[in-house]
Amino acid sequence: MEFSLIAKHFTRATPGAVLGVGDDCALLAPTPGMQLAVSSDMLLEGRHFSPQDSPAGIGHKSLAVNLSDLAAMGATPRWAILAIALPEENDAWLTAFARGFFRLADLHGIELVGGDTTRGTLTLSITVMGEVPPGQALRRDGAQAGDDIWVSGMLGSAALALAYRQGRLFMEQVDAARVLPALYLPTPRVALGIALRGLANSAIDISDGLLADLGHILERSGVGARLEFSALPMLPVVQSYLHEAVARDCVLAGGDDYELCFTAPTSQRDAIHAAAARAEVAVTRIGQITVEAGLSVTGADGQPLLYDRTGYDHFAA
């Protein structure tokens, strides 16, 4: 594709790389002694965003979902690669996309060092690289029976916003305005992930919903979990829709929150609160890891809730 397009929209100074955009490869020098954490996420038009969405928002979100994976490993963001397919060379779209992308990149000190640009249905594929000290990555397979289960931020906002946008839930406009930012401008919990090194036994980011993603930790760690529905953190506006089944579903099984779900020994409670304060994000204890396999959710009345939603059904007792 036009080199001028790449030069104009995707070439920035990259002091953290030996060589950035413009050659056949980027040249990177990882910090000696650190491990590289590497992850890719694709976003497709029609599936992950719609053509009417703001290009700056798409730029933000495409990088945010990737940074969220680095956060979930406790990695410090370093470099990104951006592969993009575009139906046409649309200068205004690219300018806004790059603005959203680089604003978030600059916040986290991650540098775009290369990529590929081609014509086709709008598709974004981003690869991110970060660094983590050996043995300190937050993995999915480290949860221990007795661990507290924690989540950052609030649950269900993004899924509720999507349900509203898709007409599956009626919301007052003022209410919708409170949850829409969670869907379009998710905040990757990078500082929290780093602060949890050495404290959390396991971690994952919530992209597919709390039950499904916590389920991955349970599966990989060979343990179970008990959750209290009433302990789940949610915005007051989300709470005010809980009489709707779709809203309860959004909190437990909705995707796109990009909060961290992690487990840690009960002895680390004070340290976790201190780490969260350093990272300037709220964290909430929502349950316990159990020896017995399976995932149960206790309702406000003390009775178990039953869910059959995808992402949960393979754990149903």
Interface residues toward ligand ADP, by CB under 6 A? 6, 10, 21-24, 82, 84, 112, 114-117
Give bridge partners of residue 39 from the DSSP assignment. 128
Radius of gyration of the chain (CA): 20
Task: From the list ligand ADP, Mg ion, none, pick the one residue 112 interacts with, judged by a Cβ distance below 5 to 8 Å according to partner type.
Answer: ligand ADP
- Parallel, antiparallel, or unpaired for β 295-298 and 224-228? parallel
Cα of first residue to Cα of last residue in the chain, in angstroms, is 53
Q: What is the DSSP letter of 239?
A: H
Tokens standing for residue 254: 């909705």
Task: From the list Mg ion, ligand ADP, none, pick the one residue 87 interacts with, judged by a Cβ distance below 5 to 8 Å according to partner type.
Answer: none
Closer Cβ to ligand ADP, 114 or 188, answer by number: 114
Q: Does 116 bind Mg ion (CB under 5 A)?
A: yes
d(CA 215, CA 218): 5
Q: How far is the CB of 235 from ligand ADP (least distance, A)?
A: 35
CB 75 within 8 A of CB 37: yes
Task: From the list Mg ion, ligand ADP, none, pick the one residue 137 interacts with, judged by a Cβ distance below 5 to 8 Å according to partner type.
Answer: none
Closer Cβ to ligand ADP, 17 or 211, answer by number: 17
Determine the residue with CB nearest Mg ion: 116
Q: How far is the CB of 82 from ligand ADP (least distance, A)?
A: 4
Closer Cβ to ligand ADP, 21 or 137, answer by number: 21
Q: How far is the CB of 116 from Mg ion (least distance, A)?
A: 4
Closer Cβ to ligand ADP, 14 or 157, answer by number: 14
Per rule CB under 5 A, count of chain residues that contact Mg ion? 1
Nearest by Cα to 221 from 149, 300, 126: 149
d(CA 85, CA 175): 35
Q: How far is the CB of 153 from Mg ion (least distance, A)?
A: 37
Q: Does 292 bind Mg ion (CB under 5 A)?
A: no
Closer Cβ to ligand ADP, 23 or 88, answer by number: 23
Q: How far is the CB of 11 from ligand ADP (least distance, A)?
A: 7
Site string for Mg ion, 62-101 (x = CB under 5 A): ----------------------------------------
CB-based contacts of 283: which residues, under 8 Å, 6+ apart?
A: 150, 151, 152, 192, 272, 273, 276
Q: How far is the CB of 175 from ligand ADP (least distance, A)?
A: 37
Closer Cβ to ligand ADP, 26 or 237, answer by number: 26
CB 168 within 8 A of CB 224: no
Closer Cβ to Mg ion, 83 or 305, answer by number: 83
Q: How far is the CB of 316 from Mg ion (least distance, A)?
A: 47
Q: How far is the CB of 9 from ligand ADP (least distance, A)?
A: 8
Judge residue 243's burial from the number of C-beta atoms within 10 Å of its C-beta, 0-12 exposed, 13-18 middle, 19 or more buried: exposed
d(CA 72, CA 258): 9
d(CA 68, CA 64): 6
Count other Cβ atoms within 10 Å, centred on residue 186.
Answer: 24
Strand order in the sheet with 76-86: 35-44, 123-132, 76-86, 111-119
d(CA 272, CA 12): 37
Closer Cβ to ligand ADP, 54 or 127, answer by number: 127
Give residues in contact with Mg ion (CB under 5 A): 116
